[in-house]
Structure 1
Amino acid sequence: MGEHVEPLDRPVWASLTSLHAALAQGDALAKRYLPEINRFASARDDSDEALAALAALVQPADPVFVLQVPEIRIPPGLVASKTAKGVQMVAAALINAETGPDEVIPLGDADAQEMLALATLTEPGPFLRRTHRMGRFVGIRIGGRLAAMAGERFSFPGCTEVSGVCTHPDFRGRGLARRLSRHVAAGIAEHGDMAFLHAWRTNAAAIRLYESLGFRLRCEVNVAVLERQARP
């Protein structure tokens, strides 16, 4: 049997084995998101069998992202092209939405290309052409352009992640990221879940922003980009 951990310690696995099961591929030992949805993957635990199953999900030129609290063991046959530390934060109190001069609008399939372009420009994290199907996304348009967006990513019973928060450089300094983050977190609370999120440990500005919204640090997380090892 695998080790017992808090779902928040392995949020990717918790999501892929529950509310995002329809977006997953893999087996009882390891799963990843469908390639058009996202690059995140997770082993059930750190057993040799689970790590081998994770390695089997990684194809050449198709890296996966692993995010978890436990130290990441690199499966045989894979290499880590990047490792980093992040922080996981949870909503410490009820977060309410705030009003502003620009309307917050829902985003969906019709906005997918613009969402991908904005995420590619600003790099809030892995974001592919169908990432928006992981949860509810909202945005603000200014002059017809998608100026900022935010949405939901990992989700399992009782918890939903705020993610994809980004603002086009032409519209920074207007508090759009703050407002959209609050909007998404408030929506999560309205559905009875606790909001959580991740940020790079070195991103002090983002951490300060989320603390000001009512999030508190839960723990550090480990992040690695795993690729199939090239044959000599």
Structure 2
Amino acid sequence: MAGHSKWANIQHRKGRQDEKRGAAFSKIAKEITVAAKMGGGDAGFNPRLRVAVDKAKGVNMPKDKIDTAIKKGTGELEGVDYVEIRYEGYGIGGAAIMVDCLTDNKTRTVAEVRHAFNKYGGNMGTEGSVVFQFKHCGQMIFAPGTDEAALMDAAIEAGAEDVNTNDDGSIEVITGPADFITVKDALEAAGFKPEFGEVTMKPESENEFTGEDAVRMQKLLDALENLDDVQEIYTTAVMDE
């Protein structure tokens, strides 16, 4: 996101997540189950599970739902066997989009994703067509007014890769994917709690949209996000709120 709109876009995204909390519970539960299946049910020894559980707590997902999802992953409870799959494509004006899914039926999922792209003015790409436009990393955003010098010192000491101050005063800390939890814990211990943080695919450059193009692009992203099998959407598009 562009420096001038970073904070506004983060707040908008958080608001949208709150509005869709029920769907968020379902999607996060899937991620917890897959993470527990792949790396075990102890979040202390499974970074992917720790990130998923933190995300669940961030939307006030009940503890019993978190525990149930973990037990489905470890085999203590019967659960669905999900497969991870990523689709790549283009939105309005050629903006890059990546769609990460967890599914028990690839045929259904690819048909639904392709339909959403086609209906709302985008098109599916081939594997590898846009992934090079993103960086796999940990990302944390701190509120405007945060002590920039102190945060930078703490972040560098904790092992962060980069610290950027945006035009709106918010501060972005970038980490390696595997270092996200370690750096986040160290910063919180130092008194710096991020307003937003996740392991993500961060766009290397951005496409800013305004007016009707922004509306059209948002409709495409919403259509993809509303699909049950879609977990995460990454895009180079930034809508002017």
TM-score range, shorter chain: under 0.3
Q: Which has the higher contact order (CA 8 A, sep 6+)?
A: 1
Q: Which is richer in helix?
A: 2
Q: Which is richer in strand?
A: 1
- TM-score for both structures, normalised by structure 1: 0.23
- TM-score for both structures, normalised by structure 2: 0.23
